[in-house]
Amino acid sequence: MEDASKKKFQPSGTKNRCNLCILRWLKHVNPNSKKEQFCFYYDKTLTATQHEEYNKEAKQLVQDNAWVKAVIENGNLH
């Protein structure tokens, strides 16, 4: 059985604001981040406005069928 502490942190396949943020966090901020580090950032650092910006963008990407790696990873952090 694989040690959970050594498992690479990555989002689920669900296309939502949290996973959009995770993908960008891993690309631009901390590629070797642990889940706990991201959760602190997402829950304690981002404002409600930033959460809403991720929500709007995630919904738009899904609606436009534009949720692709290049678009996701090269987008801006909110």
Q: Using CA atoms, how far apart are residues 26 and 60, in angstroms rounded to an integer?
A: 21
Return the pLDDT at 5.
57
The two three-digit tokens of residue 3, written as one number? 């040690």
Report the chain's mean pLDDT, rounded to a whole number.
90
State mean pLDDT over 13-34. 93
State the helix-helix crossing angle for 48-63 and 17-24, rounded to 10 degrees.
100
Quick count: other Cβ atoms within 10 Å of Cβ 54?
A: 21
State mean pLDDT over 47-56. 97
Q: How far is CA 36 from CA 24, 33, 44, 64, 78, in A?
A: 16, 8, 11, 31, 20
